[in-house]
Amino acid sequence: SQKIEQNSEALNIQEGKTATLTCNYTNYSPAYLQWYRQDPGRGPVFLLLIRENEKEKRKERLKVTFDTTLKQSLFHITASQPADSATYLCALANSGYALNFGKGTSLLVTP
């Protein structure tokens, strides 16, 4: 069966450090992978998309890598800030219409 796995345990890091979140998948051949941020009581908000032929994508303090051989994406937040505390969701689809989501990883950045 298709699975999207993200670290279920919350990630606690100190302000200024780099946070690294992992997304592993099985039985998908995704054309692209997306990352979303979700704050408590709010809808998810899109952050980054990376395509299968891209190894790395950057946006300000965010960096995403995509390894289709390992079937894994890593999401990095450099110089993390308390405002980065949220749940981060990985999402992907084989093709076409609908995105499937992982359960998300909760990130807590402490001052």
The residues that touch other proteins, with contacts defined as CB under 8 A, are 4, 31-32, 34, 36, 41-46, 49, 51, 89, 91, 93, 95-104
Residue 97, CA distances (Å) to 27, 53, 64, 92 in order: 17, 20, 23, 11
How near is the Cβ of 19 to other proteins at its closest, in Å?
Answer: 20
Q: Between 15 and 54, whose beta carbon lies closer to other proteins? A: 54
Output the smallest distance, CB 22 to other proteins, in A: 15
Q: Round to whole Å and give the CA distance between 39 and 45.
A: 9
Pick between residue 83 and residue 97 the one whose CB is nearest to other proteins. 97
Q: Is 34 in contact with 92 (CB distance < 8 Å)?
A: yes
Closest separation in Å from C-beta 67 to other proteins: 19
Nearest distance, CB of residue 92 and other proteins, angstroms: 9
Closest CA to 11 of 102, 100, 91, 75: 75
